[in-house]
Amino acid sequence: MILKKINFFIVVLFLCVNSSAQIDQYQSDIIKLLNSNGTIEKYDFEYEKTIVSLRVRVASESTPQSFWDNFSEGKKESIDELIGILAFAYRKHFSHDEIKEWYRYYSSFATNKLTKEQELSPEEKEISLDFAMSALAQKVNIKQKDFDMDAEKIAREWKRELFMEGMGALAKSGYTK
C-alpha cells in the first residue's frame, strides 16, 4: 500500500518537473476547462458518493450530523487538490494551445446547449460540427483511451485516500460500527 502511494507521488512529481514551463497560466487554463466541461461537478458527486459509502460501510448509526458537516468542510480543498493533479494528465496529452481551444469550445453557447440536450440553432450546429472535424477533436479521439487511463488512476487514488481519511476520522472519533 505504501509502495502504491510512493509510485503515485513519483508519477506526479515526474509530471510536475516535466511541465514547469508556463505552469501558472497553463494550470489556470486547464482549471477553466475542467470547470466548463463538467469535470469538477463529476468529482463533487464522487466526493458525496464516498461520504454515502462511509455512512453505509463504516459509520455507526449514532454518528452525528456535525461529524459529516465537519468532514464535508474539506470538500473544496480535496477537489481542488485532485484537479491540480488531474491537470498534469491533461498536460501529458494536450498542449497549452489545445487546452485553450478546447476551453473556447466548451464555453460556447452551442456546447452549453448540447450538455443540456437543447435544440441547436443552425449556427450552433456549425460550431459543433467544426469542432468535431477539428484536429483537436481528432487528437482527443486518438488519445482518449490513454488519457482516460491516466485520469482514472489519479481519481481512483484520490477516492481511496478520501475514503481512508474518512475511516480514520470516524475511528478517531469513535463512530465506527
- Residue type at 129? L
Q: What average pLDDT score do residues 46-73 get? A: 96
The answer to pTM > 0.75 is yes
DSSP letter at 134 equals S
C-alpha cell at 110: 452551442
CA 23 – CA 114 distance, rounded (Å): 31
What's the longest Cα–Cα distance across the chain? 60
- Residue type at 28? S
Q: What percent of the chain has pLDDT over 90?
A: 69
* 12-33 pLDDT per residue, tens: 545 554 444 446 899 999 999 9
| Closest C-alpha to 11, from 92, 108, 111, 71 | 92
* 68-102 pLDDT per residue, tens: 999 999 999 999 999 989 999 999 999 999 999 99
